[in-house]
Structure 1
Amino acid sequence: MAHRTPPRARICPACDGFSSVAVTFGGRDHRGHLRTVTAHCPACQGTGTVAARRFPEGARA
């Protein structure tokens, strides 16, 4: 019996699946740690995937 393969996750077109990044400020604090801030993709809210479309592309509602 053949196993069904699960559908592939729909990767966000805005971030190509890399939804969160750490951006450095370029300096270090007094303990020597690199100062960074985390930025998330605004299109997918940091998940890396998008929801499936309700209607096929080109179809009218």
Structure 2
Amino acid sequence: MPQHASTARICRDCDGFPMVAITTGTRHTDGTRATLRITCPTCKGTGHTAPASLARTGR
């Protein structure tokens, strides 16, 4: 049986991975790495985008 395409609107900028942890290269006193959590500015951390008909354009 053929597989149907997913209808979920995945963010094209982050591919559905809206939050990443980036290491700074330094370590805390207990030996763990210091990280920064960054969210996708396009989808604002949801991983999905609004359909084109619901997106507001213009004035």
TM range (shorter): 0.7 to 0.9
> C-alpha offsets along residues 33-55 of structure 1, whole Å, 9 cap, x if unaligned?
11001000000001110011117
Detail structure 1 runs of 4+ shifted over 4 Å in the superposition. Answer: none
Aligned to 1:40: 39
RMSD over equivalenced CA pairs, Å = 1.8
- Structure 2's unaligned 5+ residue stretches are 1-5, 55-59
User: How many equivalent pairs are there?
Assistant: 50
- Structure 1's unaligned 5+ residue stretches are 1-6, 56-61
> C-alpha offsets along residues 14-48 of structure 1, whole Å, 9 cap, x if unaligned?
11111100000112111111100100000000111
